[in-house]
Amino acid sequence: MPKRTLRQQMLAHRRSLSHDSWLEASRHAQLNTLTLPEFSRAGCVALYSPVHNEIDTALILEAAFATGKRTLFPVVCGQDMVLRQVDHLKQLKRGCFGVLEPCGMSPDHLADEADLIIVPGVVFDPTGHRIGYGKGFYDRFLQSPGLRAALVGLCHDFQLIDQNLPADRHDIRMDIIVTEQRIICCGSNRRHPDGPDSYRGGC
């Protein structure tokens, strides 16, 4: 199925979710994320602000604050994306595409400063490939040559499809996919040679 068609169908499905369904899926997916050793070890975590029924990140943010982790959120600047530190929710204001972004004049940070990056997407596959909204912000952002963060794709379980998505050699795959039902260690082209596997407490 072409990327465009798959993206449209998945976005329509996600937008059709009831608030209760979204809330329940978000809660379980975030609790799964908080069990990851990669989250426990991280001193600096990059999150996203959800739109269009993306899995929420509020519980993860609360846990990061509670454990003293630096927390970064993305900001779109022209054709690029950077990270800015968030110390309280009042710093988040509507920005590009209606997404909450850190406002103010805090310094810009690159991907190589985070230990863990929670990545949104429209569709994922078990090998860690993702389809986004088609603007390419995360694709360009994750090309940072110093990238060392564990990459976690966070999504509803129906967004994780069995078939392999079309991918280019330069694509950066997720290390882990987390849904409300499961955690998948994908096998990254940066780090893991063994391919997809069930989660066993560390990737």
Given a contact cutoff of 8 angstroms between Cβ atoms, the answer to whether 195 and 127 are in contact is: yes
CA proximity to 123, closest of 96, 162, 150 = 162
**pLDDT tens string 148-185:** 899 999 999 999 999 888 776 667 899 999 999 999 99
Given a contact cutoff of 8 angstroms between Cβ atoms, the answer to whether 45 and 69 are in contact is: yes
Give the tokens for residue 175: 């290390």
The pLDDT, as a whole number, for residue 197 is: 47
Q: Is residue 194 part of a domain?
A: yes
Q: Is residue 170 part of a domain?
A: yes
**pLDDT tens string 8-23:** 999 999 999 999 999 9
Q: What percent of the chain has pLDDT over 70?
A: 87
Q: Is residue 99 part of a domain?
A: yes
Give the tokens for residue 35: 């069990």
This prediction has a pTM of: 0.88
Q: Is residue 146 part of a domain?
A: yes
Q: Is residue 203 part of a domain?
A: no
Give the tokens for residue 86: 């968030």
Query: How many domains does the structure of the chain reveal?
Result: 1
Q: Which residue has the higher pLDDT, 47 or 102?
A: 47
Whole domain around residue 174: which residue ranges?
3-198
Per-residue H/E/C for 72-91: EEEEEECCEEEEEECCCHHH
Q: Is residue 166 part of a domain?
A: yes
Q: Is residue 65 part of a domain?
A: yes
CATH number of the domain encompassing residue 23: 3.40.50.10420
Rounded average pLDDT over 19-42: 97
Q: Is residue 48 part of a domain?
A: yes
